Amino acid sequence: MTDLEAFRSEAAQWLDENAPKSLGGRGMQMMAEGAADQEPSDVRSDRTKWLEVMAKKGWTAPTWPTEYGGGGLTPQQNRVLQQEMAKRKLPPPLMGMGLSMIGPTLLVHGNEEQKQKYLPKIVTGEHRWCQGFSEPNAGSDLASLACGAKLDEKGENYIVNGQKIWTSGAQAANRMFLLVRTDDSSKHNGITFCLADMKQPGIEIRPIRLISGNSPFCETFLTDAVVPVDDVVGPVNGGWTVAKTLLGFERSGMGGTGASPGRRGSPAAGGNRMIELAKASAGEVDGKVADGALRDEMSKLMIDQMALSLTTQRSAATAKAKGGPGPETSIFKMATSELGHRRDELMLKLRGTGSLYWEGEGAPAEDVALTRGWLSAKATTIYGGTSEIQRNIVSKRVLRLPQPK
Ligand SMILES: Cc1cc2nc3c(=O)[nH]c(=O)nc-3n(C[C@H](O)[C@H](O)[C@H](O)COP(=O)(O)OP(=O)(O)OC[C@H]3O[C@@H](n4cnc5c(N)ncnc54)[C@H](O)[C@@H]3O)c2cc1C
């Protein structure tokens, strides 16, 4: 038995012994927007138990070093763990910007004190993070941000004034990583990356209500908000480099959670369900989906998803060796979000009128998850940088094509 096979059987046994039974089989549904509101209370409390046992094991952040509360797994072991979880259709115990963005960024740019202070609290879910990058006049052109920070007289704290917008999850967050302007004389070299406690009088949030009734993001107002100098990540005025690393993690989804973008389409995960649905809607001949055109569409999608998944894994290994993600993550962000749209459209087509379910008694959970997931995924080609911006980055920094003057 190879080491990896031994790890697989160990992980499988541990999951069977520790994962709450009520969560098995609920993986995809539980991740859909609004799904948590409809969960029975026993499932909700099992979710808490699941987070506790996984955090204790270090498997909420499987590849992070054990000294910061992570699991210390290799990328290969992590892949095996994700496969075993997918087999049991277990939901991820924890998700969010702590795990996928700021944690990995601190591992690259944080000092030892910051790693010790923040990473273990991300692993347990105690700190819930939001991202204060975008401003009313700084989105695609992020470096034009104006939210200003000035050092106080004692040189102990930065005093921050300005506004952020589209701050996802700010209403539930107790920490924010943000970009502030510390020098007006240089656009990119006047930006500092820092960490703020959201629970302070200087920070006010106003949820932005959407047509769905949800308020997934907020306007965030900072009025004399206090950020200790110890919570500046990287050099003062050197925040643009730190921000690029973080955006790389955001765009690739390779922040150590192992949630490979291609996973949804693998035969072991969503792919099998797609085949079942296709057989149910188009019929079956010789064990295959009867409609040839539909079969072609599905095969092409699954091949593209697998190719993306493998490329992402290869790039993740390179990024680890280089100490952080590079500009090629823009390819993954763009391809993952656009493939996701294709997949969602196809799933809706297969579900037919089932895809009209939104809520209400008797509405099948899978259909509700599908419809809500399709709508909420519309934003994936916008946040973290739009597809147009990713294409610009790929042309300039990956392909090094001539740029317009
Ligand atoms: C659901 C959601 C969640 C978000 N969460 C967060 C968050 O948590 N924190 C945060 O800081 N931000 C967040 N954002 C903001 C997001 O990062 C911005 O919306 C995004 O960067 C685009 O900026 P903008 O909305 O200002 O659009 P603009 O920059 O005004 O762009 C408008 C349009 O012009 C195009 N465009 C602009 N410049 C160029 C160019 N140079 N070349 C080609 N086309 C161009 C864009 O592609 C877009 O289609 C979120 C956005 C969404 C939709």
pLDDT tens by residue, 323-341: 778 888 899 899 999 999 9
Q: Are 196 and 203 in contact (CB under 8 A)?
A: yes
| pLDDT at res. 255 | 44
Q: How confident is the model at residue 291 (pLDDT cuts 50, 70, 90)?
A: very high
Q: Where are the alpha helices (DSSP H) in 215-291?
A: 239-252, 272-282
Q: In whole angstroms, give the CA distance from residue 190 to residue 132.
A: 16
Q: Which two tokens stand for residue 270?
A: 């969503």
Q: How confident is the model at residue 375 (pLDDT cuts 50, 70, 90)?
A: confident
Task: Report pLDDT digits (tens) over 187-218.
Answer: 999 999 999 999 999 999 999 987 767 778 89
| pLDDT at res. 35 | 59
Task: Report pLDDT digits (tens) over 334-367.
Answer: 999 999 999 999 999 999 988 888 888 888 888 8
| pLDDT at res. 253 | 73
Task: Report pLDDT digits (tens) over 166-185.
Answer: 999 999 999 999 999 999 99
- Around ligand 1, the residues with Cβ closer than 6 Å are 130-134, 139-140, 166-168, 217, 379, 382-383, 385-386, 388-389, 392
| pLDDT at res. 31 | 54
What's the residue count for the chain?
Answer: 405
| 52 found inside a domain | yes
| 295 found inside a domain | yes
- 390 C-alpha to center of ligand 1: Å? 11
Index of the ligand 1 atom closest to the CA of residue 170? 8
Q: In whole angstroms, give the CA distance from residue 84 to residue 89.
A: 9
| pTM metric for this prediction | 0.88
Q: Which domain holds residue 159?
A: 128-239
Q: In whole angstroms, give the CA distance from residue 220 to residue 176.
A: 10
Please count the structural domains in the chain.
3
| pLDDT at res. 263 | 37
Amino acid, single-letter form, for residue 223 = T
Could you tell me what percent of the chain has a pLDDT over 90?
69
Residues 235 and 267 in one domain: no
| 249 found inside a domain | no
| 138 found inside a domain | yes
Nearest-Å Rg of the Cα atoms of the chain is 22
Task: Report pLDDT digits (tens) over 223-266.
Answer: 999 999 999 999 999 999 999 999 999 988 754 433 333 334 34
Q: State phi, psi for 254 to the nearest 5 degrees.
A: -105, 35
| 289 found inside a domain | yes
Q: Are 316 and 292 in contact (CB under 8 A)?
A: no
Residues 85 and 196 in one domain: no
The beta strands (E) that lie in 211-272 are given as 217-228, 232-233
| pLDDT at res. 257 | 36
- 379 C-alpha to center of ligand 1: Å? 10
Q: Are 322 and 330 in contact (CB under 8 A)?
A: no
The beta strands (E) that lie in 245-383 are given as 284-285, 288-289
Averaged confidence pLDDT in the chain: 89
| pLDDT at res. 262 | 34
Index of the ligand 1 atom closest to the CA of residue 133? 11
CATH label of the domain that carries residue 154 = 2.40.110.10
Index of the ligand 1 atom closest to the CA of residue 388? 47
Q: Is the pLDDT of residue 147 over 70?
A: yes
Task: Report pLDDT digits (tens) over 300-320.
Answer: 999 999 998 888 878 777 777
- 384 C-alpha to center of ligand 1: Å? 7
Q: Is the pLDDT of residue 139 over 60?
A: yes
CATH label of the domain that carries residue 67 = 1.10.540
Q: Which two tokens stand for residue 259?
A: 């949630």
In 3D space, the residue among 229, 150, 162 whose CA is nearest the CA of residue 196 turns out to be 229
Q: In whole angstroms, give the CA distance from residue 392 to residue 405.
A: 14
Q: Where are the alpha helices (DSSP H) in 58-125?
A: 75-87, 97, 103-109, 112-123
21, burial (CB in 10 Å: exposed 0-12, middle 13-18, buried 19+): exposed
Q: In whole angstroms, give the CA distance from residue 247 to residue 320.
A: 16
- 145 C-alpha to center of ligand 1: Å? 13
CATH label of the domain that carries residue 394 = 1.20.140.10
| 298 found inside a domain | yes
Atom 51 of ligand 1 has which residue's CA nearest to it?
383
Q: In whole angstroms, give the CA distance from residue 262 to residue 332.
A: 10
Pocket perturbation via mutation, ligand 1, pick of 33, 140, 178, 217 by most ligand atoms within 8 A of CB? 140
Q: Where are the alpha helices (DSSP H) in 224-271?
A: 239-252
Residues 226 and 319 in one domain: no
Q: Which helix (H) or strand (E) holds 181?
A: strand 175-181
| Helices and strands (H and E) in the chain: how many | 13, 10
Q: In whole angstroms, give the CA distance from residue 51 to residue 49.
A: 5
Atom 26 of ligand 1 has which residue's CA nearest to it?
139
